[in-house]
Chain A
Amino acid sequence: MPDEVFPQLVDAYYPALYRFALSLARNPADASDLTQQTFFLWATKGHTLRDFTKVKTWLFTTLHREFLGMRRRDWRQTPLEDLGPAEKDPPALEADGVNKLDAPQILAALQELEPIYRSPLTLFYLRELSYQEIAEVLEVPIGTVMSRISRAKAQLRAVLAQKTTHGRIFEFPPQERSHS
């Protein structure tokens, strides 16, 4: 696959890839590394992809794999917990409540979710991919994506509910209190 399309791919996908990377890695430096590494891999291996319609899925899948690899190298392994039943009654939250928050507050709340929930929900909110494509990127069955997004929404609402009291939105992330 010739290379002149590369800048178009970068322009089309790097903002969404970076936001996905940031939700996973939780710091801008690692997010930048992951995004650049993904495009580096595209530049060196992307020409082997025969189905051009899969470029977007390829990029998100590669970034996710790179994140998992980075996590294995840098962090201690934590076994996946028993997911348990999905929450049937997540805390009530209205769109107006979300609109009052700013983007870093939403991202910080997303980053509090466990990684297995954070990844599908971030991809869902980025809107670039359908649930089938999210399943491809995360390499899990479609039903698993559905249940993880359902639980992720419940977790996110629970996190945000903790940040709001009596309709007032607290500063997030919380600042250290000074002792008087």
Chain B
Amino acid sequence: MNNDEAKFILGVYRPDGRDAADPAFAESLAQAQHDPVLGAWLRREQALDEAFSAKLAEFPVPDLRKQILAGAHASRRRRAWGRGAVWLAAAAAAAVLIGTAVRLGRGSSGPGPEELAAFARHDLAADASEHLGAVPGLADLQRHLADPSTRLGAGLNLDLAALRQHGCRVIKVSGRDVYELCFVRDGQFHLYVASVADFEAARPGAAPELTSQGALTSATWADARYVYVAVTDAGPDALRRVL
């Protein structure tokens, strides 16, 4: 590879290092390290690219947020009636599951974690407008959940009373309080949390149990204090990555 070819390739190398792991740049970058002329060119080029990027980022952006959200709200409302068949199928299947779980639960003193999981899948499939998404009072926690280094399966240090106080959505399942937190990583995730004392047969410390139903996948696990159900439509692999 001569220097002109290396310059051609390095011309699309972002100066912030985000392309550093891309093997397409490896040979050109190595050449720039050993060739002082090419190295000096790359430094100048990157300084110039940095300068242009910084200037572009300075350009003021009008506040379109409210207009965008308002416009989308109207279209979402219309779409809600015709939500995809996959969601309807999932909702129907989840409703059957819940019915089964409730019937099986009769005679015992409380619901089990599988009932919570069935509820969570049903809750996600049935009406997305009920979910709160970003909650200002829970922003730090939601950021923590969205952080790729956070592994939910390791358990979370939560205070349910504080969650309620800060605006967390709370749903009654068989008379028990269940708290819902939403976050985004490789997809959208909904984490349902309840006191482990409220859901019998939860086994603290056991590996998360994955269940797929239509487009939705849930994982159920428990620690000493809480039982958790995470639900997503991003697929089992995406769900495993957050556990």
Instruction: Report A's interface with B, CB cutoff 8 A.
Output: 1-8, 10-11, 14-15, 18-19, 22, 28, 32, 35-36, 39-40, 42-44, 47-48, 52-53, 86, 88, 93-95, 98-99, 101-104, 106-107, 110, 122, 124-127, 130-131, 134, 145-147, 149-150, 153, 156
Contacts and interface: CB of A to CB of B under 8 A. Distances in A.
A123 to B, nearest CB: 10
A147 B8 CA distance: 7
A89 B185 CA distance: 44
Interface in B11-44: 11-12, 14, 16, 18-19, 22, 44
8 contacts: A10-B72, A22-B59, A32-B62, A40-B75, A43-B79, A52-B238, A93-B48, A95-B48
B92 interface: no
Interface stretch (B50-58, B148-156, B160-168): B50-58
B128 A10 contact: no
A103 B55 contact: yes
Contact of B84 (A40, A47, A145): A47
B56 A39 contact: no
Interface stretch (B63-71, B101-109, B217-225): B63-71
Contact of A36 (B8, B48, B57, B67): B67
B41 to A, nearest CB: 11
Contacts of B75: 40, 43-44
B72 to A, nearest CB: 4
Given A3-B129, A40-B75, A94-B48, A146 B9 contact: yes
B178 interface: no
A150 B182 CA distance: 42
Contacts of A149: 11-12
B240 interface: no
Contacts of B72: 3, 6, 10, 39-40, 42-43
Dominant secondary structure at the A interface: helix
A110 B11 CA distance: 17
Contacts of B238: 52
Interface stretch (B110-118, B130-138, B195-203, B205-213): B130-138
Given A19-B56, A145-B12, A146-B11, A11 B65 contact: yes
B14 A43 contact: no
A36 B71 contact: yes
Nearest to A107: B59
Contacts of A43: 71-72, 75-76, 79
B47 interface: yes
Contact of B124 (A2, A106, A124): A2
A52 B233 CA distance: 10
Nearest to B65: A10
A107 B11 contact: no
B95 interface: no
Contact of B61 (A4, A8, A19, A40): A19
Which 8 residue pairs across A and B have the least CB separation, nearest first?
A4-B133, A2-B128, A43-B72, A98-B51, A95-B47, A52-B187, A131-B12, A103-B58
Nearest to A145: B12
Given A7-B69, A10-B69, 4 more contacts: A3-B128, A6-B76, A14-B64, A52-B184
B242 interface: no
B177 interface: no
A19 B14 contact: no
A5 B188 CA distance: 7
A147 B55 CA distance: 23
Contact of B188 (A2, A35, A93): A2
